[in-house]
Amino acid sequence: MSALSIFVAGVQKGGTTTMHACLARHPQLRGALRKELHYFDDETRDWASGDYGDLPALLGDGPGMPFDCTPIYGFWGPALARIRAYNPVARLIFLYRDPLERAWSHWRMEVARGAEWLPFAEAIRAGRARMGDDSLSPARRVFSYVERGFYGAQLARALALFPREQMLLLRLQDLGADQAGTLDRVARFLGVAPFAPCHEHRAPLRDWQGGAPTAADREWLMAQWGDDLAHFAKLSGLDVRGWGRLEAIAQAHG
């Protein structure tokens, strides 16, 4: 059983389901028993023990290098440090999405699950109060519409733990516009053969009551993220111009 050394670690609603599907079809790779293993963000474990004895069973058997696709890892405070303690040479793939689109998609998902009942405008402004002061609160997994968009702080935390060459930073828009080219980058990063065509598409969520983001919502959110987003652009080298446009959401969900 080879050690787990490949992680798709974020971001939520950033294309990780599509990436998981494409990786799982590669003959040299093998997904864990479920798409989101949620091993390294599990707060019920005794992390001080250094015991990973139950992990091999969660990875299953078969050929190929196992990988774990759990997008909360890049966001959940201690998760990446736990991954480093487990395997300091792990390779990490991060997919990033316009944070306004990501927050809107996140809210729609929580409404669909029955976990959210506030309109988007109220939910984004109430999120921090609903989560409380506990950085490991279960509510932080649900109502973190704004917090998950602080990509600069999250990437800085990752870079403090892993060398840049062990990370592949991608944009969802590139996966959508040039899936073959993006998967070629993944193959080179992981040292595997090129991917076969992977035509993976997600069914859109149906429309929900509560209204689409408004110009006021956009201005409020981009004010929260502004400095961090500039920091993220410097750290990542990714082009974030055009992020935060309401027109993109209207086109995607109209």
| Distance, CA of 11 to CA of 99 (rounded, Å) | 10
Give phi and psi for 96, each to the nearest 5.
-115, 145
pTM above 0.85, yes or no: yes
pLDDT in tens, 110-163: 999 999 999 999 999 998 889 888 889 999 999 999 999 999 999 999 999 999
pLDDT in tens, 207-240: 445 567 899 999 999 999 999 999 999 999 999 9
User: Which residue ranges make up each domain of the chain?
Assistant: 6-253
Neighbouring-strand partners of residue 69: 8
pLDDT in tens, 9-64: 999 999 999 999 999 999 999 999 999 999 999 999 999 999 999 999 999 888 89
| Distance, CA of 250 to CA of 240 (rounded, Å) | 19
Token pair in block for residue 170: 């991608």
- Residue 14 contacts residue 102 (beta carbons within 8 Å): yes
Reduced to 3 states, what is the DSSP secondary structure of residue 8? strand
Q: What angle do CA 241, 110, 173 make, to 5 degrees?
A: 25
Smallest CA-to-CA distance from 28 within 196, 219, 245, 209 is with 196
CATH 3.30.70.270 fits 6-253, yes or no: no
